[in-house]
């Protein structure tokens, strides 16, 4: 009975915190709203990180998820919608989903951008019915503090990931096991 009460209290706390961290619904946004949020997030990332701006100039495509909501207590999950930009234009809409279990508690909102540097990365995302990160091309997560060391001569990966706009409390952010799927908007 005590365990049930504790779980109920945490559920209520997460529900209340969710209204603060994610005032907009995580799903069901219109294509124009997703585009505006993704484009704005990418421009802010460029302004905050010269390495992201440099990668953006040489990337074949950029997949931007501006608003991902992640939460959990023992069992957790995340969801967000984003845009694939190619040559400055929208090439498709995608969602990102992750489920997890283990010692975890918290609620967080953040975004990330994947810079697809070669045709292999683009083919992988387009040929799969749902792309599970960690099972395809290698991904380098760029630490903004260490990103200053990136130059065009040190780029050797097919995909680079930048996290941004982190709000809330959750132990860590990762991409392993995250599934990305094309959606119709």
- Among 29-38, 76-85, 119-128, 136-145, whose mean pLDDT is lowest? 136-145
pLDDT at 89: 94
Give pLDDT, residue 136: 52
Q: Tell me, rounded to whole angstroms, the distance of Cα 7 from its chain centroid.
A: 28
pLDDT digits (tens, 9 = 90+) for 66-123: 999 988 877 788 899 999 999 989 999 999 988 877 767 788 898 999 999 998 888 8
SS3 at position 28? coil
Locate the DSSP E strands across the chain: 61-86, 89-116, 131-132, 139-141, 159-169, 179-183
Q: Is the four-CA dihedral 184, 89, 62, 163 of positive or negative sign? A: negative
Q: What are the sequence ranges of the domains in the chain?
A: 2-183
Give the pairing type, strands 89-116 and 159-169: antiparallel
- Tell me if the pTM is above 0.75: no
């Amino acid at each position: 009975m005590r365990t049930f009460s504790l779980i109920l209290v945490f559920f209520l706390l997460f529900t209340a915190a969710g209204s603060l961290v994610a005032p907009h619904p995580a799903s069901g946004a219109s294509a124009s709203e997703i585009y505006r949020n993704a484009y704005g997030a990418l421009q802010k990332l460029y302004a905050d990180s010269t390495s992201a701006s440099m990668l953006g100039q040489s990337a074949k495509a950029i997949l931007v998820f501006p608003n991902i909501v992640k939460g959990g207590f023992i069992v957790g999950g995340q969801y967000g919608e984003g845009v694939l930009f190619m040559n400055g234009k929208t090439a498709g809409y995608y969602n990102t989903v992750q489920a997890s279990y283990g010692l975890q508690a918290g609620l967080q909102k953040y975004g990330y951008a994947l810079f697809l540097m070669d045709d292999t990365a683009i083919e992988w995302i387009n040929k799969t019915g749902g792309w599970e990160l960690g099972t395809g091309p290698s991904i380098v997560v760029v630490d903004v503090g260490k990103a200053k060391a990136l130059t065009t001569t040190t780029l050797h990966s097919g995909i680079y990931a930048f996290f941004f706009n982190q709000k809330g409390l959750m132990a860590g952010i990762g991409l392993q096991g995250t599934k990305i799927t094309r959606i119709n908007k």
